[in-house]
Structure 1
């Protein structure tokens, strides 16, 4: 301003009309002292001045001040303020807060008074923390009804943000189709017809690989990690369960299972944890137990058709899938599917190969099985089950052959780590991108880990327990995907390897 040919360089007095004297004084003091006092009364004026004067350090101080004070009552206002001054750091933190606390934020008066573009932006996010898509539909209708005469014209835009294909068919029929706002719009009815076709004509689902078929998943929500069964220091099979709270960073003992199990399959569905099959030290098991965290109780459900240990278990849609394993005689290629509503198991499409001690992960509505062995050979091959086609297909193999590996899905990719390749116990880890159908090595774990379990919790990947070739492990490592680094976490207090692991997420109401 003063050292170039700008007009102000020739003036004896320059008027700063953009902000008040107190704000300018604080900024001048900051220039000399590097310190600034921010309060709720001056943060907006300071942010405005810092933006105008391009004072990045002051913007960062304001951002830290606001981010530390976010709550469900003010987050939308703070987000709007940040957008006014293009303060990306505040916007990013506010967006994550809105996603995590969506159900509470959506009940606020601020939300109901948002403009249509802002509401659409929020409802379109993949990481909204909701129990089901029905909640998104109900909130979208509530926003429309808040000022229906002026908002009715936007009904189709709001309904397009609801992932109708994820709604239960009876909800579509009983609630969505009969809703007066939906019935009054031809475009809304077209969207409903599309969702009905998805449910009624499964062979057309491949044509709808859009955001409307993608499950929402909030990675910022902490859950409780459950480590079940496995071995103790004396190498005895256990029924004991311990849990890890990522907030306190402590392990503690929880309610034990009714049966001792190692090499057990674990899957979580609808906030219930299933312990499937396994080995009791004498024989392979068919029995299945389910843990209800709210009641802190274990109960038995229908047993498997085949006894299995070292199996793959995962939730896909509204069913549990169990793939492969070992029955005490041979490795298995068979698949069983459990429907909790009927409490029955049925056989599914057989895998291409017999696979024991493989890894499993679910992304994009497909089930992926990685590696494992058939009693003779260890594999690097990967096959994918498409429930719409009811068929298995081969995809790109892993870079390393592995059995007894850990595998987990996170942010649209599959991570695998550890295992055994027939000659050595592994530290290496790799990641699979389904869009490119390629595997890439990432940073190796700190320790060699065969029989390792991987889970995702609160945006981090946990590698728990295992065997390093000499001894069973009670240790845990934590991987930060954004930084590509592993760090050691707290050791388990009761287990020595062989555990099955699952995460029970908290509900939106518990936040």
Structure 2
């Protein structure tokens, strides 16, 4: 019995009061407030703040380095703090005692400067987050400059991205008019500007130049970065050419003539690639809509579902009024258009439009022709449909729809009848690749200049293909999947206008005919398709940086054959 008692007495017991450190800091803060036991004074101008060295050492890296080394200040009772705002220093000393700091619009910059100086990374990060969440067209340029000065990379990138996404609104602000010349030059030359038309960049440049009489001398340099060939011909003639600042400058007039020649004489084009490259703000995230298509039995559907890239989830939307497979899809001003298609019995000419805000469909004017398996794109706010199949033969006809007038008009036909071609907008032109005419499958490519209403031959693809997907991304055009007459394809190609040629791209994981290809957030998405045995609900994403495809969440209510459109989360 005695041995057992001894054994118990020898056991180790841990007793702790977890809240003691926190309570101790509270006591030290109260003692400081009473002005007792303080052993150091921090001075900024005429302001003095008493504190305890041990608390500053424990909480602020700057003072830890100062007081635990042989620095001269470690033995001084009063330390002068250069270049700090007094109220910010006081708030950060209080933070050392209680772990709390109040951030508002008035103090955020001085707090960030002070936190950076004192090496309080957590406070610095909190200030950056505060500014990032409150970015606005009226402040993003100032925030971007401040972030660059303070070497806050994440905040700088966020402000820069916001600037690109909201360029038109930013160009109307005082901050923009006060920019330095170098900053305006860099901005106007950027590919990532989110604009409806290049005309908006011209107007922004003109506003900046007019703000100061001395700036007129740099107009030629700025105008050389505006992509004038992408402006509409009547805008070049009626607006740009008539502008007084342009008329009195020989170099500016030459740039206008160069742009007009681009429209009038395409065979003489010798322009740098950037001047005809459409700007595209790839940082804008969009919602991908899968429209119509087929079920596992091959029946046409009226079902619509939407893919949230960030959540990697598909959700169901209001169905269309009409079942449509091989349907054309276009997005204009945040509205989703479902055009033509096949309802299981006949080819359709009808069109309906979906409003994501109201989750509802309405009918608009029908096309002049019935067509399915056509290409559908948007240029300058107008919808173009190219080719397709009317139930009897492949078509070479092209129609253009104006949402403003709700009217369809026939434009110049393609050089060949093309059904199930890949159609996309690249560098301001409508490119139509491959397809078939009922007898043969093509590898040929042609493009349409909507300014001149003319078609021109382009470099053929490496492989012939129909029922493939096509999409632009940055300065390249991509095609993927399809059918070549003997097999269903997983292969993909990419076209570089700078090189003027196609090259092979890494193949998708799955063979996909009747696949839809769409670009958003700097990536490509291949949606649905047919692998030769069954319709597909799977989705693959191509990451340009990693040069590889990976699977995303599959569609829930579709089995291939869908039309696809991408609605930006913040449409212009």
TM-score grouping bracket, smaller chain normalisation: 0.7 to 0.9
1:103 to 1:346, Cα distance in 2 relative to 1, 3 A: closer
Contact residue 347 and residue 372 of structure 2 kept, 8 A: yes
For the pair 1:125 / 2:164, whether they are aligned, the reply is: no
SS for the counterpart of 1:329 is coil
**Correspondence for 1:100:** 165
Higher RCO, 1 vs 2 (CA within 8 Å, ≥6 residues apart): 1
For the pair 1:385 / 2:450, whether they are aligned, the reply is: no
Give the TM-score normalised by the residue count of structure 1. 0.76
**Displacement of 1:254:** 2.6
1:359 to 1:374, Cα distance in 2 relative to 1, 3 A: same
Contact residue 144 and residue 156 of structure 2 kept, 8 A: yes
Contact residue 241 and residue 253 of structure 1 kept, 8 A: yes
CA RMSD of aligned residues (A): 4.0
Q: Match for 1:230 among 293, 301, 304?
A: 293
* Cα distance in structure 2, aligned partners of 1:213 and 1:435: 11
* Cα distance in structure 1, aligned partners of 2:149 and 2:542: 36
For the pair 1:348 / 2:412, whether they are aligned, the reply is: yes
Q: Match for 1:116 among 153, 172, 181?
A: 181
Contact residue 449 and residue 468 of structure 1 kept, 8 A: yes
**Displacement of 1:427:** 2.5
**Correspondence for 2:310:** 247
* Cα distance in structure 2, aligned partners of 1:414 and 1:169: 25
**Displacement of 1:489:** 1.8
1:23 to 1:145, Cα distance in 2 relative to 1, 3 A: farther
* Cα distance in structure 2, aligned partners of 1:152 and 1:485: 48
**Displacement of 1:454:** 0.7
**Correspondence for 2:498:** 435
For the pair 1:329 / 2:387, whether they are aligned, the reply is: no
SS for the counterpart of 2:269 is helix
**Correspondence for 2:94:** none
For the pair 1:456 / 2:499, whether they are aligned, the reply is: no
* Cα distance in structure 2, aligned partners of 1:484 and 1:382: 26
Q: After superposition, where does 1:183-262 map in structure 2 within 5 Å?
A: 188=252, 191=255, 201=264, 206-208=269-271, 211-262=274-325
Contact residue 424 and residue 432 of structure 2 kept, 8 A: yes
1:68 to 1:372, Cα distance in 2 relative to 1, 3 A: farther
Contact residue 222 and residue 506 of structure 1 kept, 8 A: yes
**Correspondence for 1:54:** none
Structure 2, gaps ≥5 residues long: 1-56, 68-98, 102-107
SS for the counterpart of 1:440 is strand
How many residues of Structure 1 are paired with residues of Structure 2 in the alignment?
469
Structure 1, residues 320-345: CA drift from partner, whole Å, max 9, x if none? 4333322323333x121314166133
**Bigger CA drift: 478-487 or 389-398?**
389-398
* Cα distance in structure 2, aligned partners of 1:351 and 1:49: 69
* Cα distance in structure 2, aligned partners of 1:374 and 1:221: 37
* Cα distance in structure 1, aligned partners of 2:125 and 2:249: 43
Structure 1, gaps ≥5 residues long: 1-20, 30-36, 51-57
Structure ID, larger Rg:
2
**Displacement of 1:86:** 8.4
* Cα distance in structure 1, aligned partners of 2:295 and 2:385: 26
Structure 1, residues 224-277: CA drift from partner, whole Å, max 9, x if none? 222111123443212222222323433223333332211112233454433332
Q: After superposition, where does 1:154-193 map in structure 2 within 5 Å?
A: 154-168=218-232, 188=252, 191=255
* Cα distance in structure 1, aligned partners of 2:465 and 2:210: 55
**Displacement of 1:128:** 0.8
* Cα distance in structure 1, aligned partners of 2:504 and 2:224: 38
Contact residue 103 and residue 508 of structure 1 kept, 8 A: no
Give the TM-score normalised by the residue count of structure 2. 0.69
Structure 1, residues 134-160: CA drift from partner, whole Å, max 9, x if none? 4334433443444x2443444444444
**Displacement of 1:408:** 1.1
* Cα distance in structure 2, aligned partners of 1:259 and 1:416: 29
